[in-house]
Structure 1
């Protein structure tokens, strides 16, 4: 198939449409509809159930901010849990931190991992072969409810709260994540685009507050996540780990060797928590 236009269908009154120079892969898995296409501007693009998950051109924005803000904020994370994120981009960024001894990824859909490796290998960039990686094809909700393992940072790299991801936004799930965290641990979750999804961030934060003493959010701007800033929810019992002192952030960035990032910097870390007024009000 060539020169097809494929529309993202996330928002009821807004459409983003990609020119597909080639549709490389299309599959209705047991859980979701997976499409990988090639676009002249964004390179290879992955959509799940009609919603853009990532593109080769701008994936670094989301993945760097999902991983580096909590790991730098924590300062001593050794064990990290990723729920979702089957493309491997968040895993790739987590493993850039030399202090991380184990990164456990729990992905519900094996096809996302396999097809990402096949068609978009630059995203994971060998992360699945790192000896620190522990990949489980399983339900993340069930995993955090049953595991006896403990983690310093948990990253919920999920799709929007529909279909198989709906349960990843509940107070019960967040409570199970809290149980799996070490003292002072950090949870980061996907919280939508407030301009087009105004109810998502307030719901996420209300649910997080049932389990955590300190709850906040920070922003990123990825071109293909349309509608303005995207938010990531942040939660911990240690409020100081969101934005440490500037000199502390800089020292940790340098110690981690994060000199080749393309979006995240020590200054961006602090600035991301300065929310535009309409997001802060939400």
Structure 2
């Protein structure tokens, strides 16, 4: 490796595709019991975090992912009061959920407390004070075990997992999805991070096969996040309620009432995100 090579962080999640981000500064580099965490700096995307070499979030484009993972299910539900987040140690999902004043309680279950602590220190803009909000209950525990044992029920469950390798692998199983559904209230909505379909099609198909067996209304919606390279990212969607059928007029009314000022999400984008291109439709199970 040359000196010039060392100035780039190269992600090789896929065997035949890679992306690189120029590194101007290393702010954190440490291995926890579960994974190696780095916080680096890039001229275009600002600070970014990698877990085991895979980009998880960047200051530059994190708002797209976090807004679409939260505002879509919460505004589609319309009456969400209790929200469960599995993962999301950087605090970005919690930040966006807590922007909804109508949400009364948020339970966030993160397996690695080290992620939370170093994100508070090195990526504070992502949580933006969310960890200090009295409505947030942070639980350091295994998310799969939590949904298996809790007797609580939630209006919206957001699975902000890493890719299906290492500690995050269990969060992509049919057993986990079934136990998560058990934790939903009537008409509740489950949303999952499901990777980039162009490069991770099997991952999406497997999740959709499980959702088809579990939910009356199942599918996915898309958002384009630049550093989740390879095309738009899929967010899995499952509910037995009418959430996807909410009209644009009703979404717009809920959006206005919530008083949100997002940078990516709009009611129009919300509706359009469920319109899937042919290659993604082809990944849906028969």
Per mean C-alpha deviation after superposition, the further-off stretch among 19-28 and 87-96 is 19-28
Superposed counterparts of 1:83-162, under 5 Å: 83-162=86-165
Distance of 2:141 and 2:134 partners within structure 1: 20
- The runs of at least 4 aligned residues of structure 1 exceeding 4 Å deviation read none
Partner deviation per Cα, 1:184-225 (whole Å, 9 max, x = no partner): 100000111011112111111111223222211000001101
- Counterpart secondary structure, 1:199: helix
2:259 alignment counterpart = 257
- Counterpart secondary structure, 2:17: coil
1:59 to 41, 58, 62: 62
- Counterpart secondary structure, 1:15: strand
Partner deviation per Cα, 1:40-69 (whole Å, 9 max, x = no partner): 111000011111100000000000000000
Report whether the alignment pairs 1:210 with 2:213: yes
The structural deviation recorded for 1:4 is: 2.2
2:244 to 242, 257, 277: 242
Distance of 2:117 and 2:7 partners within structure 1: 24
Q: How many positions carry a matched residue from both structures?
A: 280
TM-score normalised per structure 2:
0.96
Per mean C-alpha deviation after superposition, the further-off stretch among 12-21 and 119-128 is 12-21
Distance of 1:145 and 1:9 partners within structure 2: 33
2:7 to 4, 7, 20: 4
CA contact (8 A) 2:83 2:106 kept: yes
TM-score normalised per structure 1:
0.97
> Cα RMSD over matched residues?
1.2
Q: 1:243 to 1:115 in 2, by over 3 A?
A: farther
> Mind listing any 5+ residue stretches in structure 2 that lack a counterpart?
none
CA contact (8 A) 1:5 1:18 kept: yes
